[in-house]
Amino acid sequence: MGLSIREIRDNTTRARHLMQRSRAQHFAVGAFNIDNQETLIAIALAAQKTNAPVLVEVSQGEIDAMGLDNVRDLVDNYKSQYGIEMYINLDHSPTVDDCKRAIDAGYEFIHIDISQANHEASEAEIIAKTREVVHYASFTGALVESEPHYFGGSSNVHEEAIDYEAIKKTFSTPEGAKSFVEATGIDTFAAAIGNLHGKYPVPKELDLELLSRIRESIGCQISLHGGSGTPLHFFEDAARIGVSKININSDMRFAFRKTLEKVLAEHPEEYAVVKLMPEVYGAVQAVIEEKIAAFGSGDKAVR
């Protein structure tokens, strides 16, 4: 059942208060992707156990699998069942129309990423379409996130090493961040400082000095995408510097798949797979709790 406009605006107001608390108290909120109900259960259980606010996020492929409105209903149901502070983030949405549909459905956080669909999109096009989403989101109060260029990698497990010389060419700059935020009016800037989508055989390295300079150059929130495979001390430092949102996906997918393979191999006679799933989402829950501890968001929920 859809939310009323008053309920949506109440939710987005609380979401904005959360981002303000994150800046004032120097913690980051975990944004965790789902493509199945078990992963959502793991997020809810971790949030309840740690008393942490969390964002559930879905990209276009995950929306295609689960349904835009279905995700809204599932999150609301589990939020009520577990008594937790939980919101929805539309992740890397490639079109303005998709963003508008999510805003209408009551998503509190919207990430418009024009370069996701067109890696060669001009900055002028990205700015114009981002501003259109910012304007549309003002009706509900949804927070809008964006970046001025394509962000590399994919939310999968990679075998190749990270080519940092190539990645550094896509790093954000304080000047570019300031210009983009002023041109678009976004609530959250997605910074590129060594973070990269996916899980790699070597740990990621974040340029915290660059992050500090970006933080000084803009007044809005900062997010970090591609958090999987990052040593936890980087997250602790990033939260202290002023990052408000950190995205995690591949680490959860890896735990889900490896644990599912294990329990299926251990129980070849069991065809009621639902009986095997608690161990699977328990493994994902452990990953989420580890991230929450590093983000400093435990005991920061407000219900």
Is residue 188 within 8 Å of residue 218, measured between CB atoms?
no
Is residue 200 within 8 Å of residue 167, measured between CB atoms?
no
58 DSSP β-pair partners: 90
Is residue 70 within 8 Å of residue 37, measured between CB atoms?
no
> From CA 156, how far away is CA 90, in angstroms rounded?
19
Is 97 a residue of the active site?
Answer: no
> From CA 247, how far away is CA 284, in angstroms rounded?
15
- Residue tagged active-site, from 73, 76, 91, 113: 91
221 DSSP β-pair partners: 188
> From CA 275, how far away is CA 79, in angstroms rounded?
23
Longest CA pairwise span in the chain (Å): 60
| One-character DSSP codes across 230-296 | --HHHHHHHHHHT--EEEE-HHHHHHHHHHHHHHHHH-TT---GGGGHHHHHHHHHHHHHHHHHHHT
- Residues serving a catalytic function are 91
